[in-house]
Homo-oligomer: A and B are copies of this chain.
Amino acid sequence: MPAIESPYLLFLGDAEDPLTAKVARGIVDWRPEQCVGQMKLPGCAVDLGLRDMDLAQGREAGARTLVVGVANRGGVISDSWTRALVEALEAGYDLASGLHDKLADRAEIARAAAENGRRLFDVRHSDESFEVASGAPRSGRRLLTVGSDCSVGKMYTALAIEREMRSRGWKVDFRATGQTGILITGSGVSVDAVVSDFISGAVEAISPANDADHWDIVEGQGSLFHPSFAGVSLGLLHGAQPDALVLCHEPTRTHMRGLPQYPLPDLEACMDLNLRTARLTSPEVRFAGISVNTSQMPESEAADYLASLTDRFDLPAVDAYKDGVAPIVDRLDS
């Protein structure tokens, strides 16, 4: 995949729920210098704190790529977006998207790209082919973030751990397994778009054998307890062969994302099932900490909650976004 040109204008469409804009949010949080502004359609109820811009204003501010920063359930390109995306191509933007639906498969968008000499980046779709996973032990250290649910901070936590290790001078790489991570780092594989026979093989490929003191921080996906996506999570867990796991959790969530009839798992059960299944390819795996998204809790309650988790599990419990992840990295070997 050739490099996506920055800076970006972030397209939020008609997103009503901040969680659906997590692609845009992630880019803003980890690469703010790449984002000139945000673009909304009528009905959009999400705000990233960037300047609101139309296409012309974005171009004046230097933007070269319009990034579709919204991830719908199922990854569909909304018909209501098509006109704006075509106008962007006409205004000189490349387009980048992490949706399942490919920009290149929409006739109007493909035609406008061709007519205007612009490029379409469907980062969720890999053209690479992978081997079936071998399960063979490999050198180097790997940490995987796992979740009680989808969208609970697995990518954030992994990026924060990479940043912390790098600041300590350790050898470390973040390994992106989803569209936002790929848009942030420019490489990786969207494992949920890989043919299912090759999930574990793709993860083996993006986190290959390395120096004995090198850490790969592998971005987790989904949850072993999410009925739609647990297969992806298990394949990722086996392919990553993690030495260490970090559990990511959002304690105010009342049900599994998108599925009101499914409650969140008990954290003990979640950690136990992750360890039990991870041991298949990494017998010595252990948890190194818990990363909690406390953004929906009062500050005082958040501190008490984190302390209670530390007591309960004898593990560092942090909000990676607010507090960083130093206590977790302290538990790992440099």
Q: Which A residues fall within an 8 A CB radius of B?
A: 73-75, 100, 131-137, 191-197, 199-201, 224-225, 227-236, 238, 259, 261-262, 273, 276-277, 280-281
Contact = CB atoms under 8 A, between A and B. Distances in A.
A137 B261 CA distance: 10
Given A228-B201, A273-B276, A261 B136 contact: yes
Contact of A132 (B228, B233, B235, B236): B228
Given A73-B132, A132-B73, A235 B238 contact: no
Given A135-B262, A195-B195, A230-B277, 11 more contacts: A73-B132, A133-B227, A135-B259, A194-B195, A194-B196, A197-B228, A197-B232, A200-B228, A200-B229, A230-B280, A273-B276
A299 to B, nearest CB: 34
* 3 nearest CB pairs, A to B: A231-B235, A135-B227, A192-B197
A281 B135 CA distance: 28
B134 A228 contact: yes
Contacts of A276: 273
A232 B231 CA distance: 6
A194 to B, nearest CB: 6
Contacts of A200: 227-231
Contacts of A231: 196, 199-200, 231-236, 238
Nearest to A203: B231
A35 to B, nearest CB: 27
A230 B225 contact: no
Contacts of A233: 231
Contacts of A235: 196, 230-232
Contacts of A234: 224, 230-231, 234
A5 B280 CA distance: 43
A273 B278 CA distance: 13
A281 B196 CA distance: 20
